[in-house]
Amino acid sequence: MNNSEKIIGILPCSGACNVGIMTTKATVKACEAHKNVNFVCALGLPLGIPGIIENAKKSDAYLALNGCEIRCATKALESVGIKPDDEIVVSEKCDMKKNKNFSDETGLDVLMEEVENFIRKWSQNFYAS
């Protein structure tokens, strides 16, 4: 990554359910595919852990990946004064019911398409300015 490349922060809710775990899987896939994606730690923000907050604030755009309508990822970002540029609610976007089947990846392809669209959109916005 060169110094002019902008950083896209993705914060998964990582909740203890199928749709929460799917947010983590999608974030990991995005990090593996793009050098400019920053995996933001959801738990460290509202706990006020300085290093995690500092890492989160290094990003230029933010995507909150929420498993369900509770929107924990969005709330975690907002707890340290970061307004997400966009948010995805997996249970709504992928039309999934929240359950305890942690290995269920139904809808992961739809979620990844949405994540890739965000990355593409914000990368184009950065380089157009």
pLDDT of the residue at 3: 46
pLDDT of the residue at 123: 84
- Per DSSP, 99 falls in state -
Buried b (16+ CB within 10 A) or exposed e, 43-80: ebbeeeeeebbebbeebebbbbbbbbeebbbbebbeee
- Does residue 22 belong to any structural domain of this protein? yes
Tokens (6 digits) for 78: 């907002």
Say how far residue 125 (Cα) sits from the centre of its chain.
18
43: containing domain: 8-105
- Does residue 112 belong to any structural domain of this protein? no
Per-residue pLDDT of the chain (129 residues; tens, 9 = 90+): 444 678 999 999 999 999 999 999 999 999 999 999 999 999 999 999 999 999 999 999 999 999 999 999 999 999 999 999 999 999 999 989 999 999 999 999 999 999 999 999 998 776 555
Domain total in the chain? 1
- Does residue 127 belong to any structural domain of this protein? no
pLDDT of the residue at 4: 61
pLDDT of the residue at 126: 65
- Does residue 84 belong to any structural domain of this protein? yes
